[in-house]
């Protein structure tokens, strides 16, 4: 299927590795011009090189801490100065740290609010004035917005706010030809999943393999998802091929989520 992304300009946040990198790669493979950002400059530069090598695509890389409003504005401004317009925005950020609610400090709640929810609000505000031809916005959240995950209270609460943002914004910008959706990863093989599994293993006195086997038993397809699989779903929702989909949340989870 031709997704209709050739020549489109896409912003992809937190794209130096993991899900963000996978989304950027699939967009570039589909012919989009991709502006990536990360607060990890060495990782960002390496990601830019890999994307060009793997896709031959037109890639623009900018250092950006998505908790800093000025950084977001500068990233979007540089992209528009380079290509003139924004057609797609993929909202993404690293996850907040694990912990029990009783142990989470006010400072940690505030940091998670800035990282997860306000970064999404600010990216949207920065990009919307430049989406003059319509387009698509896609947020990346978590399976925890449907089924809370133990010790991930910060992620659950803030990402649920992002889902509410998606549903509200979808109504507000539909008349402008802009679609807004949410993509919920289950257990995708990324550095974040390895970190969380290792933390669980250390906490429970188990091996990483034992924790991983326990989690795989809950997935009907019996394996972790691949970053490429998530990236392809994102590219579709950000593309004109998904022209009648807005205000929706799509699961990429191998059947793991049991909620209806």
- With beta carbons less than 8 A apart as the criterion, state whether 230 and 24 touch: no
pLDDT value, residue 161: 97
Its pTM surpasses 0.85: yes
For the record, the structure tokens of 12 come out as 């992809």
pLDDT value, residue 191: 82
Domains of the chain, CATH where assigned: 9-188+227-251 (3.40.50.720), 190-224 (no CATH)
What are the residues whose beta carbons fall under 8 Å from the beta carbon of 193, sequence distance 6 or more? Answer: 187, 224
pLDDT value, residue 99: 92
What are the residues whose beta carbons fall under 8 Å from the beta carbon of 172, sequence distance 6 or more? Answer: none
For the record, the structure tokens of 2 come out as 């031709």
Q: What phi and psi, each to the nearest 5 degrees, are found at residue 12? A: -130, 115
- With beta carbons less than 8 A apart as the criterion, state whether 17 and 231 touch: no
What three-state secondary structure class fits 184? strand
Q: Per-residue pLDDT tens, the chain, 260 aa: give them.
A: 899 999 999 999 999 999 999 999 999 999 999 999 999 999 999 999 999 999 999 999 999 999 999 999 999 999 999 999 999 999 999 889 989 999 999 999 999 999 999 999 999 999 999 999 999 999 999 999 999 988 899 999 999 999 999 999 999 999 999 999 999 999 998 888 888 888 888 888 888 888 888 889 999 999 999 999 999 999 999 999 999 999 999 999 999 998 88
CA–CA distance, 26 with 40 (Å, rounded to integer): 21
């Amino acid at each position: 299927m031709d997704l209709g992304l050739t020549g489109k300009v896409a912003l992809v946040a937190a794209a130096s590795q993991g899900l963000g990198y996978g989304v950027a790669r699939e967009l570039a493979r589909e012919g989009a011009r991709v502006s990536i950002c990360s607060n990890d400059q060495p990782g960002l530069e390496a990601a830019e090189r890999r994307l060009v090598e793997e896709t031959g695509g037109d890639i623009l890389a900018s250092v950006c801490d998505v908790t800093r409003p000025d950084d977001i504005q500068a990233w979007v401004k540089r992209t528009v100065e380079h290509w003139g317009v924004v057609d797609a925005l993929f909202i993404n950020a690293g996850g907040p740290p694990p912990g029990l609610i009783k142990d989470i400090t006010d400072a940690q709640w505030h940091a998670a609010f800035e990282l997860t929810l306000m970064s999404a609000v600010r990216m949207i505000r920065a990009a919307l004035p430049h989406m003059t031809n319509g387009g698509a916005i896609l947020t990346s959240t978590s399976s925890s917005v449907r089924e809370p995950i133990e010790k991930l209270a910060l992620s659950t609460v803030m990402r649920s706010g992002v889902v509410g943002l998606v549903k509200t914004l979808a109504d507000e910008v539909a008349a402008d030809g802009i679609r807004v959706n949410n993509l919920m990863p289950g257990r995708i093989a990324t550095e974040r999943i390895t970190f969380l599994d290792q933390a669980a293993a250390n906490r429970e006195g188990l091996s990483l393999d034992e924790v991983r086997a326990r989690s795989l038993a809950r997935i009907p397809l019996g394996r972790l998802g691949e970053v490429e699989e998530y990236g392809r779903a994102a590219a579709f929702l950000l593309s004109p091929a998904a022209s009648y989909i807005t205000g929706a949340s799509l699961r990429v989870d191998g059947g793991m989520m049991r909620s209806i």
